[in-house]
Structure 1
């Protein structure tokens, strides 16, 4: 009888500590339901991997914050972009290392949303005059995301760039833009095939 009471007490303590069986299950799975998820799919990989599930839950939280800020967005692009991102994530089945591909997709999407919707601390705006022309200005804002990101604006064009490894200075790469700053001077490429510009911090 005493052994039974001790076992019951241990069970109750464990249940309280972990929030109960149902809560424990919710805390380790992804933000979506794994019921009926196809075997061998990317979703099944996320469901069966604790770290990927945690990234999925984090993305869901960040997406919720972004949706609050995008309520008056015109045109409303957030939902469409997220559907496109899910398709891109699921295309990781084509990758040689599927898990690494999925993890990278999550980290980049989280960082992108945090930067685009200003959900994390930032430094800037920092202005650069390019090729010695004050009118040829580049405005940059740097975000404390993981990986680091920056948003650069030049005229009416905007580019989100992601931090890259660099032996010195800070290097960022966008779709068709690149930025490498070292000691107040930046080498910038803006657009596919465009010549490199030399930009210096504006006073």
Structure 2
């Protein structure tokens, strides 16, 4: 299928989750106007590097514009609702100010669940990571989330670098994503601790 894309480093969307966006650049204001006039869908995807027209990572997520606020100066505040991951087949040669691709939608496994020991291990590691980072978390609410919402939700908001966030998006299913997420929390926690030790020694 043909997808209009919004390449944005660090912005990751997952199916069934929401991503608020503030749209201010003229080309992306045009992108939103075009999407609203058609099917309200755009694809979120990360560029591999930080320059105009940079190559794209191969996997992104198609989203549908839900809530939208059109501001007087032409900017938009929108909430994108994740629908399906996609894989880029090729970028299209277009005359629009925004980029477009041909892509295939990726099937998501039905009714994914974690084993009880996996869920417990993840929540234990997440508590450690949150405490180390100084985050305040409503753990009672977390405990009520289903496995998919929990794992994908943490992946979407985790303070990791672009490559790590992309690896999580490309993981197949929540079991693989959960395992990778635990490894990343441990890695970034160790890295932050090493940085602090280095500063202390100086």
TM-score in same-fold range (> 0.5): no
TM-score, length basis structure 1? 0.24
**Larger radius of gyration between Structure 1 and Structure 2:** 1
TM-score, length basis structure 2? 0.24
